Structure 1
Amino acid sequence: MKLFSTLLFALLVTFSSFSQSHKEEITKNAETYYEYMTNQNFDGVLDYMYPKVFDTASKEQMKAGMEQMFNSPDMKIEFVSNTVTDVTDKMEVENITYAAIFYNSKMRMTFISEKDKSEEEQKTFLEFMEGIMKTQFGETNVTSDLKTVSLLINMDANMFAIKDPKYDGWKFIGNDDTMKELVNSIIPESVRTTLLKEKK
């Protein structure tokens, strides 16, 4: 009986360490991915994306889109912080391993095109944009700063981590409304419902 208890304990410890190691590995990779986003290292960001994403748009097209979005002469987008808050257990389907990553992101949008306008015009524009963003991200998640003509957006989001034998290491795909159709075509429904349910 004592031997059985010892073996059981050893197995539980081993399982726990395996479970922990994949979460640590995913977190470490996600933090690097977020660092690339913050520093606008788009090649690094694209290297972490699940390659099947490029069936819809090529790497070159996606990089051009990112450069256009982040280097607009009218608006500057910056990531203030991205913090992993949770990583789910792993789930394997047809030899591909999945996990869900939950994270908090803080992003600043500075409206360069409004800088030379009067304070009243800036205030009107900022209030208008704040209303739009609050509709999308929630009343308490958007704050404005008239001095810098910017909005700070706080959001809780999630994405999927994928370990596919065809590719090296963990890859990521964002999970939001704009990506819904693509995510649904790549991530099996059983995986989406099971992993996202873990956080509820």
Structure 2
Amino acid sequence: MKKVILIGLLTVCSVALSAQQLNPKDASAIDSQVSQFLTLIKQRNYTQVLDFMYPPVFEHTSKKDMFQVFELLEQSGIELKFKNMEVLDKKALPTVKESKYALIKYNLEMELPLTTDDLRGIAPLLVPALQSNFGKENVVYNKSQNYINVKGQKFLMGIHDPKYNKWLFLIYDDSFKSAIEKTIPAEVNKKAAAVAY
């Protein structure tokens, strides 16, 4: 009986360990895709960024909602400056029905120059809105220099679904929680949520 329990424990441990490792081919493919994805965000090319998104999510949320925060800021006349966007970590998640999943943690830093009196006037409204999206500790309003700096660590979920034959992404964020739950298998979402939230 002890042998059976020991073998069972070793099997569970080896599965848990292997679940955390991405094979080199997948890791390299993810790095390449994420690099392009983050570059397009830096360039504020949100239309092309959508080509990197996992299509089934759009059955539960609109494409317009994906980058609504950034687009609203730009419509207000704020020219976003993205910087220091880099991948910090990648973790494999459970494979379900031949679809592979990974959680990707990355740095996000952006500066919002408040270059007009109108923009400076809306700063008291803008700062709390950004704090609710990125966390209070990640938003600094420099009143004397007229800019808002936003820093934080964000997550993407990478999905390699055989139907699409390449790694695609979801913005793994509380604001898309409902759409993610409807798109991603519960066991995958549970593992990702344990790390991200």
Please say whether Structure 1 and Structure 2 have the same fold, judged by a TM-score greater than 0.5. Answer: yes
Give ranges in structure 1 of 5+ residues lacking alignment: 1-14
Does residue 1:157 correspond to 2:140, yes or no? no
Alignment match, 2:173:
176
**Structure 1 residue 106: Cα displacement:** 0.6
- Tell me if structure 2 keeps the 8 A contact 1:99–1:160: yes
Does residue 1:31 correspond to 2:28, yes or no? no
The TM-score normalised by the length of structure 2 is 0.73
State, as a whole percentage, how many aligned pairs show the same letter.
22
The TM-score normalised by the length of structure 1 is 0.72
- Tell me if structure 1 keeps the 8 A contact 2:159–2:167: yes
Alignment match, 1:42:
46
Picking from 85, 89, 95, the partner of 1:86 is 89
The residue matched to 1:88 in structure 2 has which SS? Answer: strand
Matched residues, number = 179
**Structure 1 residue 77: Cα displacement:** 2.7
**Structure 1 residue 21: Cα displacement:** 3.0
- Tell me if structure 2 keeps the 8 A contact 1:81–1:106: yes
**d(CA) in 2 for partners of 1:66 and 1:136?**
9
Alignment match, 1:5:
none
Check 1:71–1:126 CA distance in 2 against 1; reply closer, same or farther (3 A cut). closer
Picking from 58, 61, 71, the partner of 1:54 is 58
- Tell me if structure 1 keeps the 8 A contact 2:156–2:171: yes
Check 1:183–1:18 CA distance in 2 against 1; reply closer, same or farther (3 A cut). closer
Check 1:70–1:45 CA distance in 2 against 1; reply closer, same or farther (3 A cut). farther
* RMSD (Å), alpha carbons: 3.3
Give ranges in structure 2 of 5+ residues lacking alignment: 1-17
Alignment match, 1:4:
none
Runs of 4+ that moved beyond 6 A:
15-18
Comparing 146-155 with 176-185, which one deviates more in the overlay?
146-155
**Structure 1 residue 31: Cα displacement:** 1.3
Return the letter of the residue paired with 1:101. Answer: I
Alignment match, 1:116:
117
**Structure 1 residue 44: Cα displacement:** 2.5
Comparing 97-106 with 76-85, which one deviates more in the overlay?
76-85
**d(CA) in 1 for partners of 2:91 and 2:57?**
22
